[in-house]
Amino acid sequence: MRRVAILGSTGSIGVNALNVARELPEELRVVALAAHSNVELLARQAAEFGAKAVAMFEPKAAEDLKRRLDGGVEHFASGVEGLCALASHPDVDVVLTSLVGGVGFAPLLAAVRAGKTVALANKEPKVMAAAQFMREAERWQARIIPVDSEPSAIFQCVQGLHPDPRAAAPLKTIRRVILTASGGAFGKYKGDLSAVTPEQALRHPTWKMGRKITVDCATLMNKGFELIEIMNLFGLRRDQVEIVIHPQSIFHSGVEFSDGSVLAQMGEPDMRLPIQYGMTFPRRAGRVVEPLDLVKAGSLEFKAPDFERFPCLALAREAAGKGGGAPAVLSAADEVAVEAFLAGRIKFTDIARVVERALAAYEVSGGLPSFAEVVEIDAWARRKAEEACR
């Protein structure tokens, strides 16, 4: 029985994680829940799953929640400290981080330093300091299990090689990985991308997800984030990760080994599977998702990405190559730019321009920045990106 904390339980990943936990009561017990301000839903979740600890980022929301819940819940918290307290709570074995944005940085660090198993969905912190988090996890004997269909696919493909993910880097017998991307809302769109609206960008063809990541899929920045994550998780060079557009999202990603053999993980596009694996790892529990139906899928297509039409992917590759704090700049600038696009302040094609400006202004110096330095770089990049938006 795993005792699970879900940070971001009211979002797309969080709700799916609870759907999995509901189906696997013998495997998973939900003990802690946190969100930003959705008191209504979090209160219902806490009552249904009998959570012992809850946190709302917004202090007012936390008070509201306290008034609504009686009995059962022993620990109420708010702010980043509240999220960190849940992430390191002694009664928690697995922390699923499904917050959105850089706000998840401190809670992830708290979970790692408490030696937890982290089922990691929240992308932005791992892009900000992927190498540092891998190192820190080793130091504190924490485990980081990727919860994202493609990184999870690669992680699953290498399990036969190294049952212990902490021993995974560098996996010498990996020649390259094949990282697939759906192509996002504009994968098949032939029109002018500078004129597309947030509403169009939020229409993803295969996945139903939160707003930020759906826009990141439309710009292909999301794939760039995954590139950085995978390089660090598996100790790979940039040229060992081949990005392939695969609109059906069935071949979730694959690994080519030294002898040329390719293993892939496949399934219907359903986040519950990587979420479940992240929470039950290394066990495989019973099936919650629909079985894969290849005949129904018909044909699977693959093509090369267009780096010119989707410059965010090229920028992510550049940041991966630059190293140092460049990935942190990439993530922070993207967060600001996506917010500005969704608010109607900038055009879709400006997202890449804003990120490019911030990256161009950043100079890599010294080795890998410390966690404290990453926080400073993040704040600096947000200011640069804000300026560029204006």
Looking from the CA of 177 toward its CB, the CA atoms found within 13 Å total 31
- Contact present, 118 and 147 (Cβ < 8 Å): no
Q: Which of 148, 270, 318, 334 binds Mg ion (CB under 5 A)?
A: 148
- What is the C-alpha separation between 89 and 74, in angstroms, rounded? 12
Number of residues that bind Mg ion (CB under 5 A): 2
**Does residue 124 interact with Mg ion by CB under 5 A?**
no
150: partner contacted, choices ligand NDP, Mg ion, none (Cβ within 5-8 A by kind): Mg ion
| Nearer to ligand NDP (CB atom), residue 41 or residue 161 | 41
Q: Which is nearer to Mg ion, 83 or 185 (CB)?
A: 185
Chain center to CA of 334: 14
Nearer CB in complex with ligand NDP: 117/182: 182
Q: Name the one residue in this structure whose structure tokens are 């302040």.
A: 345
Question: Does 221 participate in binding ligand NDP (rule CB under 6 A)?
Answer: no
Q: Decide which of Mg ion, ligand NDP, none touches 240; Cβ closer than 5 to 8 Å per partner kind.
A: none
Residue 213 in the binding site for ligand NDP (CB under 6 A): yes
* Residue 145, strand partner residues: 119
Q: Could you give the CA distance from residue 122 to residue 126 in angstroms, rounded to a whole number?
A: 8
Compare residues 256 and 281 and give the one whose CB is closer to ligand NDP.
Answer: 281
Say how many residues make up the chain.
390
Indicate the residue among 134 and 147 with the shorter CB distance to ligand NDP: 147
Positions in 292-331 near ligand NDP (CB under 6 A): none
Residue 83 or 230 with smaller CB distance to ligand NDP: 83
| DSSP category for residue 291 | P
Of these, 10, 180, 219, 265, which contacts ligand NDP (CB under 6 A)?
10
Q: What's the min distance (Å) between Cβ of 275 and Mg ion?
A: 12
Burial 156-172 (b: 16+ CB within 10 A, else e): bbbbeeeeebeebbebe
Q: Which is nearer to ligand NDP, 73 or 271 (CB)?
A: 271
Applying CB under 6 A, does 206 fall inside the site for ligand NDP?
no
Closest residue (Cβ) to ligand NDP? Answer: 11
- CB 39 → ligand NDP: shortest distance, Å? 8
What is the smallest separation between the CB atom of 274 and ligand NDP, expressed in angstroms?
A: 8
- Give the separation between CA 216 and CA 69, rounded to whole angstroms: 36
Q: If binding is defined by CB under 6 A, does position 253 make contact with ligand NDP?
A: no
Which is it for strands 117-120 and 75-78: parallel, antiparallel or unpaired?
unpaired
Partner interacting with residue 178 (select from ligand NDP, Mg ion, none; CB below 5-8 Å by kind): none
Which amino acid is present at 265? Q
Q: Is 146 in the site for ligand NDP (CB under 6 A)?
A: no
**CA neighbor of 98 nearest in space, from 230, 252, 274:** 274
- Residue from 144, 146, 166 nearest 156 by CA: 146
Instruction: Please give the structure tokens belonging to residue 221.
Output: 């920045």
CA distances to 9, 102, 110, 266 from 80, in Å: 15, 11, 11, 36
Please say whether the beta carbons of 32 and 83 come within 8 A. Answer: no
Question: Applying CB under 6 A, does 13 fall inside the site for ligand NDP?
Answer: yes
Interface segment toward ligand NDP; rule CB under 6 A; list 4-12, 168-176, 231-239, 354-362: 4-12
Rounded distance, CA 60 to CA 164, Å?
Answer: 42
Residues in 150-169 that interact with Mg ion by CB under 5 A: 150
**Binding status of residue 92 toward ligand NDP by CB under 6 A:** no
Which residue, 11 or 267, is less far from ligand NDP as judged by CB? Answer: 11
Q: Which residues, listed in sequence order, are joined to residue 217 by a DSSP beta bridge?
A: none
Closest C-alpha among 374, 381, 375, 369 to residue 336: 381
> Candidates 32-40, 168-176, 305-313, 323-331 — which segment interacts with ligand NDP by CB under 6 A?
32-40
- Residue 99, interface with ligand NDP (CB under 6 A)? yes
Task: List the beta bridge partners of residue 251.
Answer: 266
Q: How many angstroms separate the CA atoms of 250 and 290, rounded?
A: 12
For tokens 């620990």, the residue is 75
Should residue 118 be labelled a site residue for ligand NDP when binding is judged by CB under 6 A?
Answer: no
Q: Which of 45, 78, 117, 122 binds ligand NDP (CB under 6 A)?
A: 122
Provide the binding-site residues for Mg ion, judged by CB under 5 A. Answer: 148, 150
Provide the binding-site residues for ligand NDP, judged by CB under 6 A. Answer: 8-14, 34-38, 57, 83, 98-100, 103, 121-124, 148, 207, 209-211, 213, 271
